[in-house]
Amino acid sequence: MGKAQLILGSSSPRRRDLLSNLGLTYTTCKPDTEELPRPGEQPLAYAQRNAAEKAAWVVSHHVDQGLFQAGFLVISADTIVVLDADILEKPRDGAHAAAMLGRLSGRSHTVISGVTLTLHPGVIGHSDPVCLTKTFAVQTKVFIKPLSPREIAAYIRTGEPLDKAGGYGAQGIGSYMVERIEGSYSNVVGLPVAEVAKELESTFGYPLWDDI
């Protein structure tokens, strides 16, 4: 296939940075979807469903608005932190962040990113175009050092935890508390770059490295 227009279905600056590191040219679109686990829904399925719904929203938005006549390829993702089968979303406030960090202290947890890539062939000559879609998930195990109440309080005062799933940012100030990881680092940041690059080339035939 020729070069489809890439769209990152996210407003996350961290995902933008990770995708930009591949030398890709893309636009961004923030999906307007609800992120709420269904009763009995497992974390892996939840992350993948969120990613798929975000991609579907972006596709629908661009088609409805007539923003693209030619083909476009959407990349969307949802990253969650899981501890004891509980999904730790972004904390509601400082007290909630402190509770999360207290639970993570001295233990390991899992970061899961659900990712969906959807290729829309364009609308010219396609009354009902069929999208090629691939959804997958990547898991990384993260080990957090023991945290004292004093350092948890100091970290919360930086404001960083309030915008991060699980209440910490491995790529920011919170890097000091990460003892080690098992798996993809970029997955912890918000987008498993190696796996995304592989799918772009193998599943979608996107000539990724021509842009570098």
Q: Give the residue numbers marked as catalytic.
A: 78
Number of H helices, E strands in the chain: 6, 7
Helix (H, G, I), strand (E, B) or coil at 172: coil
User: What string of DSSP letters covers 12-74?
Assistant: -HHHHHHHHTTT--EEE--------PPTT--HHHHHHHHHHHHHHHHHHHHHHTT--SS-EEE
Contact 19, 191 (CB under 8 A): yes
Nearest Cα residue to 28 out of 8, 1, 50, 12: 8
